[in-house]
Amino acid sequence: MQPKTVRRWADAGKLRFERTPSGHRRFHLADIKRITPRDLNQLEERITINYARVSSHDQKEDLSRQIQVLEAFSATNGWQYETISDLGSGLNYNKKGLQKLLKRIMQGDVGRLVLTHKDRLLRFSSELVFAMCEEFETEIVIINKSTEETSFEQQKYEFSKIQSVRHTFLGNSVSFIYNGR
């Protein structure tokens, strides 16, 4: 693609851009990716990542079962796969495995993400990761979809329970400090 073509598309409104103080154009990555011709063979050769997570060491057996289910599912479908597992809270965004997964998705290496359940990825905000997957053309496969997905209202209720517990344990110490006692 020639620079002149890109400028013409930008002038026609087909590509979003911002001008630098020196007058150069800076284009949005999503728009460039959208118009860039893709090698379909390259998309097919990307790897499937199985992601398993449990919250605590007490659940290590469950982690092993998740991994077995994910690997059997991927093998049955004939996919070339890797498995990433994490041990940690679904509220923690800094788990090593999750960080590795996100990095691989953003590098364009991952063609498919396989989960046993939606909440194995993150307890809240998994939709953010799903949006990232869509942007990088990563298919999401959830093996055990519940008949009713957790609604926003249900998530708010669960979050309020967490806040309630936090207030119960921290409320007195916070007011103690705040009141200057």
Q: Say what the pTM is.
A: 0.59
pLDDT of residue 159: 58
Range(s) for CATH 3.40.50.1390 in the chain? 43-142
Which of these is catalytic: 22, 55, 146, 175? 55
What is 43-142's CATH topology?
Rossmann fold (3.40.50)
Query: CB–CB of 126/21 below 8 Å?
Result: no
Q: Where are the beta strands (DSSP E) in 91-180?
A: 110-115, 139-142
pLDDT of residue 122: 73
Q: Quick check: helix, strand or coil at residue 59?
A: helix
Q: pLDDT means per 10 residues in the chain (181 residues)?
A: 78 84 83 60 74 84 89 91 81 76 86 86 76 85 69 55 56 48 47
pLDDT of residue 40: 47
Q: What is the largest CA-CA distance in the chain?
A: 70
pLDDT of residue 160: 61
pLDDT of residue 177: 47
Q: Where are the beta strands (DSSP E) in 23-116?
A: 25-27, 47-54, 81-87, 110-115
pLDDT of residue 83: 92
pLDDT of residue 56: 79
pLDDT of residue 153: 53
Respond yes or no: is residue 55 known to be catalytic.
Answer: yes
